[in-house]
A and B are shown apart, each in its own frame.
Chain A
Amino acid sequence: MMKAAIVTLQKRWQQLTGLKYFWPVFLAAGLAFCVAADRYDFVDLYLQLIIIYVGINIILTVSLNLINGYMGEFSVGHAGFMAVGAYIASILTVYVFPQNAAGILFPAAILAGGMGAALVGFLVAIPSFKTRGDYLAIVTLAFGMIVKSVLENIDAVGGPRGLLGMEKLTTLPWVFFWTVLSVWVIRNLVYSNFGRGIWSIREDEIASDLMSVNTRQVKIIAFVVSSFFAGVAGGLFAHAIQFINPRMFDILKSTDVLIMVYLGGIGSIAGSVLGAVIYTLLLEILRPLGVWRMVFMPLMLVLLMIYRPRGIMGLREARLFTPLLDRVTEKLWRQRKKEARHAAP
């Protein structure tokens, strides 16, 4: 009975996801919902804030998965890139842009935050040419500490007290836009030959170099794209809570993102989305548990690592996120396999 129900559900899901119109409909409906919720306030503000957090966490998780999942490195400095984006975007909207135009120029501020973080990401990519594994983890750890202590010592941005004065510019429609953009761009990268180059570094860096992959170029692309979106997430975050200080972007923040990556599954876009959604929502739902929340969540992670070490979707992808060409290729392959089976005596 149960099995039959699951099978029908799976079939429904496949029909739904096989539909040509799934993405257009989903995106249009999502955008309409976000705009409406923002305009007419029929969703209460607490819920709106949670949805905004979910979006920001999806951006952070998908972008970190590029380094930790697809490339197989272990970066623990994602919060550092986020901080760079958050501070650049906030400085722009608070000090640089004219007060009445801050709303219109908000996307430019976010973009600038992303670009600033991308530039820093480029610099962090350089040690990755020579160092791998634990050593690169230490480099990124050090990077996170540098960002934090630099920010703490610049009085112009408030030093350890932090920066405030941002308007609440991060609205649902903007979060929706940036989340979709980041998932789409990283999906595109992963399903290109540059993306395959990133996977091959995870598998065997020397072999990939010998198969004509320019490993330096690939690492730069991975770090730049990943840190760009971390910076974007930082900018959105700053304008959602309207106050930032350096301690918000310490190692614990990076750990949060790591947890979402490994919960959802390494090397998977669908996994990143799932991981971010589940983790963010669970933290909210379990709020009544109080202090015990911080016992329950790690315990869940320990169990997950024992029973599903690669996370929910580890190294697998939902068909929804694979490009059409690859789906066509798969169909072609199934056909050939069937023919081969018939041809065999």
Chain B
Amino acid sequence: MPLLEISRLTHRFEGLCAVSDFNLRVDPHELVGIIGPNGAGKTTVFNLMTGVYRASEGSINFQGKELVGLNPHSITRLGIARTFQNIRLFREISVLDNVRIAHYGQTAYSPAEALLHIGRFRAEERRITVQALDLLAVFHLDASANEKAKNLPYGLQRRLEMARALATEPKLLLLDEPAAGMNPNEILQLMDFIRWIRKTFSVTILLIEHQMRLVMGICERLVVLDFGATIAEGLPAEIQANPKVLEAYLGEEVAS
């Protein structure tokens, strides 16, 4: 059974068709990449999957549940977490609290218990804190746990965003251009890092990327999007040789 099945997904912004008839099937433990030129509709697909936008047509099925029409937080609780193309951390809040907030969906105490700090509150708060600190330690961020998120260097901010996403205990992790702003050396490290995350947290990963080196290096399967429609799908090697893909990226050959 596939983990995620998107069929005939279409989304229009006032007449502009951002995604049209998009289909995707992701099996558990796969690492799939979505590529395509700027403005092809890749991030829109992520926004539709996570409930930021509501799809005009089509269905998104995650482990047998329909996601179209659900709130973002309900979708996150079902097990889909994401990072953002332009980092969206809670900047004025400490690194530790960034991760603790992501435990919101699993918090077992009620508002009344929180107001009076009674009942399950103390034990639960300790559990969340210890879990968050452990997660930060795994990401080598524990030394900056009490720093404000905005004070971290760029690379660590990217790492914190992934830690925060993983704190929601996802089954499917969506990475939106994780290599943005990185040099070739850092991209190599990032490739190892993504593989390591998949193994350690046993998550399925779907990523959007421009950097061909990264995509070709780690993805098992690729989907190419152009003008909101799928133009090719297959193994990285197949995609590289696909004339349609070359056309989308480099333009049509001028007939002489």
- Co-assembled chains A and B: yes
| Residues on A facing B (Cβ under 8 Å) | 185, 188-189, 192-197, 199-200, 202-204, 206-215, 217, 221, 225, 267, 315, 323, 325, 329-330, 332-333, 336-337, 340
Q: How far is the CB of B195 from chain A (nearest CB, A)?
A: 24
Most buried by A among B71, B93, B126: B93
Whether the pair B76, A211 counts as a contact (CB closer than 8 A) is: yes
Closest chain B residue, CB of each to CB of A197: B104
Known contacts A193-B101, A200-B90: A329-B96 contact under CB 8 Å: yes
Q: A193-B101, A211-B101, A215-B73 are in contact. List 18 more A-B contacts (CB 8 A).
A: A189-B115, A192-B114, A192-B121, A197-B104, A199-B92, A200-B101, A204-B88, A204-B89, A206-B88, A207-B84, A207-B88, A210-B72, A211-B164, A211-B167, A212-B103, A330-B146, A333-B96, A340-B143
Q: How far is the CB of B157 from chain A (nearest CB, A)?
A: 13
B181 close to A (CB within 8 Å) = no
B105 close to A (CB within 8 Å) = yes
Which B residues are CB-close (under 8 A) to A213? Answer: 73, 101, 104-105
Which A residues are CB-close (under 8 A) to B115? Answer: 185, 188-189, 192, 225
Q: How far is the CB of B121 from chain A (nearest CB, A)?
A: 7
Q: How far is the CB of B39 from chain A (nearest CB, A)?
A: 21
B207 close to A (CB within 8 Å) = no
Closest chain B residue, CB of each to CB of A190: B114
Within 8 A of A (CB), among B123-154: 125-126, 128-129, 133, 142-143, 145-146
Closest chain A residue, CB of each to CB of B108: A193
Main secondary structure, interface of B, reads helix
Whether the pair A196, B133 counts as a contact (CB closer than 8 A) is: no
Q: How far is the CB of B96 from chain A (nearest CB, A)?
A: 7
Task: Mark each residue of chain B from 28 to 65: 1 if its CB lies under 8 Å from any CB of chain A, else 0.
Answer: 00000000000000000000001010000000000000
- Contact of A211 (CB < 8 Å), options: B102, B114, B142: B102
Q: How far is the CB of B222 from chain A (nearest CB, A)?
A: 25
Whether the pair B114, A193 counts as a contact (CB closer than 8 A) is: yes
Whether the pair B114, A194 counts as a contact (CB closer than 8 A) is: yes
Whether the pair A188, B114 counts as a contact (CB closer than 8 A) is: yes
Whether the pair B111, A194 counts as a contact (CB closer than 8 A) is: yes
B171 close to A (CB within 8 Å) = no
Which A residues are CB-close (under 8 A) to B101? Answer: 193, 196-197, 199-200, 208, 211, 213
